[in-house]
């Protein structure tokens, strides 16, 4: 089975890492797709985000880190023969949004299914936006360690520290 999990990962969080581990376990081939949206402002470049994910998944033979720019996820999934689009659900808002996207994707290709995974309780509030919002406040360097993997934390300290 082939699965694909997409996001902007700006930066990758412990919630994303948890999803990566689930996808690695579930799929024979697991694509982690890093998205680029021209209407979004990113803290990390596309290349930096890809590098961080590659560092996090370095020993995983079934992982392929790819980029998606200006393309529907379901169309990319189709191009790599994916069976599933893998999505994380943290709360009711995520569910409502992802349910709608599932129906839109199904309209474009009914053979690719969406698989939802509920986040564990300790990761429900973790998001890239939350992490970026912590940067700059007194003591942020210690606080973010709880929300991002160590390699990501090091990159954030280098980019935003001092």
| pLDDT digits 0-9 by tens, 9-30 | 999 999 999 999 999 999 999 9
For the domain 2-124, what is the CATH code? 3.40.50.620
Please report the DSSP string for 48-62 in residue order. Answer: HHHHHHHHHTTT-TT
- Distance, in Å, from the CA atom of 55 to the CA atom of 28, rounded to the nearest integer, reads 20
Residue 37 has pLDDT above 90, yes or no: no
Which percentage of the chain shows pLDDT scores above 90? 93
- Distance, in Å, from the CA atom of 120 to the CA atom of 107, rounded to the nearest integer, reads 30
The burial class, CB within 10 Å (0-12 / 13-18 / 19+), for 129 is exposed
pLDDT value of residue 17: 97
pLDDT value of residue 162: 61
pLDDT value of residue 38: 80
Residue 56 has pLDDT above 70, yes or no: yes
pTM of the model: 0.94
Mean pLDDT score, 73-79 = 97
The burial class, CB within 10 Å (0-12 / 13-18 / 19+), for 157 is middle
Give residue-wise pLDDT tens across range 112-140: 999 999 999 999 999 999 999 999 999 99
Mean pLDDT score, 27-42 = 93
Domain ranges of the chain: 2-124
Mean pLDDT score, 37-44 = 88
């Amino acid at each position: 089975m082939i699965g694909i999990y997409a996001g902007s990962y700006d930066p990758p969080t412990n919630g994303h890492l948890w999803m990566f581990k689930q996808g690695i376990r579930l799929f024979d081939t697991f694509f982690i797709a890093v998205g680029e949206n021209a209407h979004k402002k990113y803290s990390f470049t596309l290349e930096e985000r890809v590098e961080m994910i590659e560092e996090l998944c370095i020993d995983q033979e079934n992982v392929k880190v790819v980029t998606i720019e200006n393309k529907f996820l379901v169309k990319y999934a189709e191009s790599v023969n994916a069976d599933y689009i893998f999505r994380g659900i943290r709360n009711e808002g995520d569910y409502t949004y992802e349910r709608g996207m599932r129906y839109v994707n199904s309209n474009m290709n009914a053979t690719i299914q969406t698989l939802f995974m509920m986040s564990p309780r300790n990761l429900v509030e973790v998001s890239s936006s939350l992490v970026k919002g912590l940067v700059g406040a007194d003591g942020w360097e210690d606080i973010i360690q709880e929300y991002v993997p160590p390699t990501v934390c090091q990159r954030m300290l280098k980019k935003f520290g001092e």
